[in-house]
Amino acid sequence: MEQTKRSYSGQYYLTAIGITALVLTLPVVSSLFFWLYFITPLPIIYYITVLGFKRGSRLTAYAAVPAAGLIMITAADIQIVFSALSLIPAGIILGQSIAKGDSIHRAGFKGIGAIILTWLVLGIAFSTFSQVNIYKAVLKEIDTSLNIAFKSYSTSPGLTPDSKAQLKEVFQRTRKTVPRIFPGSLLISAICTIWLNLMLANYLLKRSGIKIWDDFRRWRLPDNLIWLFITSFFALLISSSWLNTAGLNIVLVLGFLYFLQGLAVLTSLMAKWEVPKPIRFLVYIIITIQAYGIIMLAFLGIVEIWANFRKPSAPNNIKEE
């Protein structure tokens, strides 16, 4: 990591504390700022990297204390408090990982581990004090929401009996599938959160003159990971329910990782072909709102293992006479 030592004024520290506190608090205060929840670690990573681990961690504590107090006062549901504060340790761990000069893969692995461990600790604490299993409570809430959605759609005017029967079958399958893929969905949400924050932190720190990692367009998964993906596909064919469920979750998680690799390949190719930024933005929107686009990008990420689309072209040293 390339970094130059700088001195910062008291106003800078107050601004940093204010920004961090707002990112922690606003998602709870108003649903309009719910999207800020996913970048909770970002200001923590940024200021720990810029100011150093000790000063950055102290700044985080100064921001977290008033934010936690405000959240406790304004939030009627303890689950909201759980969600709002659960990503703080991940930001601290990622900031420390960057300070140590860890690779992008090692930093990401630590961040994901921090989120999972924090969820586990807070979940056990919540279940102990409330006498409610938070994992089962979330699944029950999802199932209730699906049931409400089915009743809403099934009473729509103009819906034929056949369509209603098909709709009922789809919802029943969904209600059975959700509990099976919920562990993988949690892990995907942790991966997505860490990936987003690492990408944004890398961009912001680069603009501040601090180089951490190469551009994310060069990001690549270990090639040997494909064998776990293939093995998990075979597990889907086994009649054993727990092996089938484990294989399904692994396929979902690795499929999402290969989607990210495919996205990196696409970004690299569009930069290589000098595609205008408005068109790039349109391509990203089209891909993310269509399931087929996500599947195609995951397939592109897998093919990249052998095709190596991002391999630099050989220089043309032939001079014309």
Instruction: Please state, as a whole number, how many other Cβ atoms lie within 10 Å of the Cβ of residue 103.
Output: 10
Q: What confidence tens digit (pLDDT) does each residue in 200-244 have?
A: 999 999 988 888 887 788 888 999 999 999 999 899 888 888 899
Cα distance from N-terminal residue to C-terminal residue, the chain: 45
**Residue range 241-249: average pLDDT?**
92
In sequence order, the 6+-apart residues with CB closer than 8 A to the CB of 35 are 27
Locate 293 and state its tokens: 């686009």
Between 106-120, 130-144, 240-254, 293-307, the lowest mean confidence (pLDDT) is in 130-144
**Amino acid 318: pLDDT:** 45
Are 221 and 261 spatial neighbours (Cβ–Cβ below 8 Å)? yes
Q: Where are the alpha helices (DSSP H) in the chain?
A: 10-29, 41-51, 53-74, 78-85, 88-99, 104-130, 134-154, 161-207, 225-235, 241-272, 277-288, 291-307
Q: What confidence tens digit (pLDDT) does each residue in 19-38 have?
A: 998 888 888 777 788 888 88
Between 35-44, 60-69, 78-87, the lowest mean confidence (pLDDT) is in 78-87
Whole-structure pTM value:
0.86
Place of tokens 């562990």: 183
Whether residue 316 has pLDDT greater than 50: no
**Residue range 103-120: average pLDDT?**
93
Whether residue 71 has pLDDT greater than 80: no
**Amino acid 6: pLDDT:** 67
Q: Which one has a higher pLDDT value, 30 or 277? A: 277
Instruction: Please state, as a whole number, how many other Cβ atoms lie within 10 Å of the Cβ of residue 115.
Output: 23
In whole angstroms, give the CA distance from residue 50 to residue 94: 13
**Residue range 303-321: average pLDDT?**
67
In sequence order, the 6+-apart residues with CB closer than 8 A to the CB of 69 are none
**Amino acid 99: pLDDT:** 87
- Grouping H, G, I as helix, E, B as strand and the rest as coil, residue 211 is strand
